[in-house]
Structure 1
Amino acid sequence: MFHVVAGTCAFRPDGTVLLTQRAASKDFPLAWEFPAGSALAGESSREAAVRELAEEAGLVVDTEDLALVGRFVDSAALFDVYVVRASGLEQLKLDPAEVSDYQWVSVAEVERRFRSGMMSGPWTVGLSALWDPFVQALGQDL
């Protein structure tokens, strides 16, 4: 049976995007990703994306500010990918049980990391499937 997972790529006006590094105790330890997690019972995909971004990185956004990039199918999940604009002034507050570090990186660096296996397995699959719409959603012309 599939469940819904939602992940969000926050991007700043300077074109950089937020990558978080998974905690060492989690699956895919120390791999890079965008904040993501499973939707809770009764929660929409957008609500899950907003909640996970706030829980893992301390970024608070509204559901209407999310832009859907697309959906891919992982081994047991329907995985929705969103992008959202961040002001660039936010103070991040990482959940140490979920996230060990973060970096604001270029879109080219995201591509380098997912193609070289530095990102968690689901994100490697998802970005492979959704790379062009992902870049378009960010408004990047690479």
Structure 2
Amino acid sequence: MNEWWDLIDASGVPTGETFRRGDTGWPSGAFHLVVTVCIYRADGTVLLTQRAPTKEFAFGWEFPGGSALAGETGPVAACRELREETNVRVEPEALRRVGRFAEETALVDLFVAQEPSRSVVRADPAEVMDWSWVSLSEVNARRQSGVMAAPWGPRLEALWPAATTSIVATDQPRKHTSQ
């Protein structure tokens, strides 16, 4: 695999170095950016994908996402990953970052965005074996039952409250007030 990542420090600041995925000798104290997107519908359901059998954490459910490539911003990478895995297309400006979770060598950014009108999910079989629109409570149920991909347990514990707040707040009718 010839995938290059920009290295960042614990604060997310680029170090100016790159690293090729799969190489040995990961620099101590360095991270790479992982992005993931929770697409939601007006009815409050969200898109989950199930990892293909050939992937690490095979058969686990997750939000679409992956590593930002060298030179990509988080939102651009998130849009690319979403498009590659599901064929759902959103613009970087449509994404709202709801939080960041630190793992051993990755900083994971979770974005939310409303499903674009007329989008059609067409999963890439090399990445995704199945997909489903589920309720917010179903995401919690899947986490608790252990069917989410392993990294998603701690990620959801840390980031899911902010994501659900963002989704619910967006779907509430706006009250018009006069001043």
TM-score normalised by structure 1 residue count: 0.94
Partner of 1:139: 168
The answer to which structure has the higher helix fraction is 1
1:110 lines up with 2:139 in the alignment: yes
Residue 88 of structure 1, CA deviation: 5.8
126-135 or 16-25: which moved more?
126-135
Looking at structure 2, the residues matched to 139 and 87 of structure 1 have their Cα atoms a distance apart, in angstroms, of: 17
Quick check: 1:74–1:122 contact (8 Å CA) kept in 2?
A: no
Q: After TM superposition, which residue ranges in structure 1, 4 or more long, deviate above 6 angstroms?
A: none
Residue 100 of structure 2, aligned match among 71, 74, 86: 71
Looking at structure 1, the residues matched to 49 and 118 of structure 2 have their Cα atoms a distance apart, in angstroms, of: 17
1:90 lines up with 2:119 in the alignment: yes
Identity of aligned residues (%): 48
Amino acid at match of 1:19: L
- Structure 1: gaps of 5 or more residues: none
1:127 lines up with 2:146 in the alignment: no
Quick check: 2:89–2:119 contact (8 Å CA) kept in 1?
A: no
Looking at structure 1, the residues matched to 109 and 72 of structure 2 have their Cα atoms a distance apart, in angstroms, of: 13
Instruction: Show CA shifts across 1:73-109 (max 9, x none).
Output: 1222100000000046421111111000000000000
Amino acid at match of 1:78: L
Residue 109 of structure 2, aligned match among 80, 83, 90: 80
SS of alignment partner, residue 68 of structure 1: strand
Quick check: 1:57–1:94 contact (8 Å CA) kept in 2?
A: yes
Residue 42 of structure 1, aligned match among 50, 68, 71: 71
Instruction: Show CA shifts across 1:7-30 (max 9, x none).
Output: 000000111100000000111111
Amino acid at match of 1:123: W
Quick check: 1:22–1:30 contact (8 Å CA) kept in 2?
A: yes
1:10 lines up with 2:42 in the alignment: no
Amino acid at match of 1:43: E
1:30 lines up with 2:59 in the alignment: yes
TM-score normalised by structure 2 residue count: 0.75
Amino acid at match of 2:158: A
Q: How many residues align?
A: 141
- Structure 2: gaps of 5 or more residues: 1-29, 172-179
Looking at structure 1, the residues matched to 42 and 67 of structure 2 have their Cα atoms a distance apart, in angstroms, of: 28
Residue 122 of structure 1, CA deviation: 1.9
RMSD: 1.4
